[in-house]
Structure 1
Amino acid sequence: MTTAETSTDTPHIVICTTGGTITASTTPEGAVVAGDSDPATQAMLDELRAVLPEQIRVSARAVIDADSSTFGPAEWDLLVDAVADVLSDPGVSGVVVTHGTDTLEETAMALDLHHDDPRPVAITGAQRPADHPEADGPANLLDAVLLAADPVSRDLGVLVVLGRAILQARGVRKWHTTDPVAFARNSPEHPVEDLPPELERPTLPGRARFADTRVDVIACPPGADAVAVRASVDAGSRGLILEGSGSGNLPPLVADAVAQLADDRPDIVMVVSSRVPRGEATPAYGGRGGGAELANRGVLSSGYLRSGQARVLLAALLSVADQAPADDAAAAVATEIRRSWPKYHLYS
């Protein structure tokens, strides 16, 4: 990695590659395969340099080479470290991360929670493999590099760039399996003069280590029982993201187990989300399993975050809290996380 100073007139953008569909190829049988993408990555960079303005310089750093459906907490740790390391060079103007779309929303959240540098980080990918006759990766990468090189992108945090859409990381979600406009952002409408509070983007007070902190997402469809909740607790989960219905409501048997768990294990933090694609999860309804009753038990609501990003946030808060003085009891740590949760999730 270069350490040469780069002026604002000659921006240097570092592309961190992780594999994914943007460099994937298609087998004779029609299967799209990610990994072993060095030749495709080099071709992508050559094509990019051919169309970039001369004053923008790009270099690449391979971080991972795999399908993002295989990514998890260990890969989030690798990418947070890699981006921080790249930005330790003052000559770098911005970072682009190429990433598979399957788990891009989780990585974007993990990066954004740590990104307190004004320089932009853009995450991009593709819905069609590199050898597709209408591959969308090259245009997405060009857009991401141009965005990362533009001073207007400073102080906006991590940005998701696909299909000509530019979205802030918090609240973003993959909304379509094949459409080139792969992502949408779950957020309320705000007039220009009333900027949403999430633009402040509070970052973590320390470095989270995701691989050391287990948080499970549990689907809670109509009629579900408590088997999955108990299994996660028995497996050592520190937190549970409960994906309910409506604005964040749970089936009766799950609600009963959650109530019992709140009494018996106050050290386990529970957050209720919703299977509904858009809108806010709020403690609105009373009654057995209603969000308001859950809130009375200390269960948090995910707001405009959906399950994937809520999981990343909760794991990050638990991990950072673990680095506090050792005499902090687990139940006290959980209480502090419940208190600070609205500060970090979207639109508190």
Structure 2
Amino acid sequence: MSSLVLIDAGGTIASLPDAQGVLVGRAGSARLRDVLSADAREGVVERQAYAGLSEDMGLADAMRIVTIVAQAEAEGVGGVLVAHGTDTMEDVAFLVDLFHAGQGPVLFTGAQRAASAPGCDGPANLHDAVTVARDPGARGIGCAIVFGGRILPARSARKLDSSGPEAFGPHGSAIGRVDDHGVRFTATPRRPAPFAIVDPEPRVEIAALGLGSGPALVDALVAGGVRGLVVEGFGRGNVPMDVVPAIERARAAGVLVGIATSCIGGGTAPTYQSGARLAALGAVGAEDLSARKLRLLFAVALGGGRDAATAERLAREWLAA
């Protein structure tokens, strides 16, 4: 039986209700290994990376998970499980995937219902993640989210339901399923070459646009000193035409700029006038990445003090791989 490292990274699966019944982060270890059956917990070593709720995590907290994963890989373990809060699970899973070079799977899971609630789903999800991690088909899949019976690659997984047990999708992007009859893989995810581990650049932000949005938010973020900026636009990566000059000003100021869509599927392309103008200005299209994930790709590409031109090249190479 392969050895596994279980990382306790807080979140609902490790949370506790306060005196008013409001869920709060646990101060110490949740001892999640103990919820596994005796057979499942054999060979599982638990390590703690974070003890709060995931909406409070920062890049430094996420990088502790990256470090533990790298250490586990160097130790030759069969795989890594990360019990994590669902609010930022897709972000941290993707960040880990940007750095993960090994063949052992790194599987994120968690809960929508706390252990104190009837019908808590954390133990079932954790058992599923162990089952997937020990399946030979999981070798080489990189980083994935195992939740509600689905196995979703970190690149495409997004939280689609704020409270239901099938929190993550899109279902069409699943690479497999897991249930009481075992694991069935149906696809192999894309795995571009990983980045060397560096501290991500924190000064990367997202400007989300809506009907009638103007240039003020983009200009304010540039004036505030961002090094990278992701504009979340409409459709295929379109923006109001009066926002285009602000993006041009951002580029002139040396800011790495990307354009993403708020849509779940379809990705970006310079099909319409504003999108074509942005492409001509050098904005990086997110393609299939969400704005949150393009932001993390930019943060890693800019990490280690790399300039915008180098970071743009690295981001484009990663997207094209």
Work out whether the TM-score is over 0.5. yes
Q: Cα distance 1:178–1:117, how it changes in 2: closer, same or farther (>3 A)?
A: same
Unaligned runs of 5+ in 1: 1-9, 323-329
Match of 1:16 in 2: 7
Deviation, structure 1 residue 337? 3.4
State the AA in 1 paired with 2:219.
R
State the AA in 2 paired with 1:14.
V
> Of the candidates 91, 116, 120, which is equivalent to residue 105 of structure 2?
120
Q: Cα distance 1:160–1:344, how it changes in 2: closer, same or farther (>3 A)?
A: same
Match of 1:181 in 2: 166
Match of 1:277 in 2: 264
SS of 1:271's partner is strand
**CA deviations over 1:177-220 (Å, ceiling 9, x no partner):** 01111111487899xxxx99x9341133422212x441001112
**CA deviations over 1:236-261 (Å, ceiling 9, x no partner):** 21110101111111123321211233
> 8 Å contact 1:117–1:155 — kept in the other structure?
yes
Match of 1:199 in 2: 189
SS of 1:199's partner is coil
> 8 Å contact 1:247–1:274 — kept in the other structure?
yes
- Output aligned runs, 1:61-72, within 5 Å: 61-72=47-58
Unaligned runs of 5+ in 2: 176-185
State the AA in 2 paired with 1:117.
G
In the aligned structure 2, how far is the partner of 1:146 from the partner of 1:205?
28
Matched, 1:246 2:235: yes
In the aligned structure 1, how far is the partner of 2:173 from the partner of 2:78?
31
**Higher Rg:** 1
In the aligned structure 2, how far is the partner of 1:206 from the partner of 1:86?
16
> 8 Å contact 1:126–1:137 — kept in the other structure?
yes
> 8 Å contact 2:97–2:194 — kept in the other structure?
no
In the aligned structure 1, how far is the partner of 2:314 from the partner of 2:171?
22
Match of 2:114 in 1: 129
Matched, 1:233 2:222: yes
SS of 1:316's partner is helix
SS of 1:243's partner is strand
> 8 Å contact 2:218–2:246 — kept in the other structure?
yes
Deviation, structure 1 residue 321? 6.5
SS of 1:64's partner is coil
State the AA in 2 paired with 1:159.
A
State the AA in 2 paired with 1:305.
L
Deviation, structure 1 residue 27? 3.3
> 8 Å contact 1:221–1:251 — kept in the other structure?
no
Deviation, structure 1 residue 115? 0.6
Deviation, structure 1 residue 151? 1.9
> 8 Å contact 2:152–2:173 — kept in the other structure?
no
Deviation, structure 1 residue 47? 2.7
State the AA in 1 paired with 2:74.
S
In the aligned structure 2, how far is the partner of 1:166 from the partner of 1:199?
11
Match of 1:83 in 2: 69
Deviation, structure 1 residue 340? 3.8
- Output aligned runs, 1:3-152, within 5 Å: 10-38=1-29, 41-42=30-31, 44-50=32-38, 52=40, 56-90=42-76, 92-152=77-137
Moved more, 26-35 or 138-147: 26-35
> Of the candidates 251, 257, 261, which is equivalent to residue 246 of structure 2?
257
State the AA in 2 paired with 1:218.
A
**CA deviations over 1:141-188 (Å, ceiling 9, x no partner):** 001111112221011100101111101110211111011111114878
State the AA in 2 paired with 1:312.
L
In the aligned structure 2, how far is the partner of 1:218 from the partner of 1:169?
23
| Residue identity (%) | 33
State the AA in 1 paired with 2:36.
L
Match of 1:309 in 2: 293
Q: Which has the higher contact order (CA 8 A, sep 6+)?
A: 1
Match of 1:162 in 2: 147
Moved beyond 6 Å, runs of 4+: 186-190
SS of 2:45's partner is strand
> 8 Å contact 2:237–2:285 — kept in the other structure?
yes
Match of 1:7 in 2: none
> Of the candidates 318, 321, 344, which is equivalent to residue 302 of structure 2?
318
In the aligned structure 1, how far is the partner of 2:249 from the partner of 2:173?
34
> 8 Å contact 1:24–1:37 — kept in the other structure?
no
RMSD across aligned positions (CA): 2.3
In the aligned structure 2, how far is the partner of 1:317 from the partner of 1:218?
19
| Count of residues paired in the alignment | 311
In the aligned structure 1, how far is the partner of 2:145 from the partner of 2:305?
28
In the aligned structure 1, how far is the partner of 2:312 from the partner of 2:148?
37
TM-score (ref. length: structure 2)? 0.90
In the aligned structure 2, how far is the partner of 1:86 from the partner of 1:338?
31
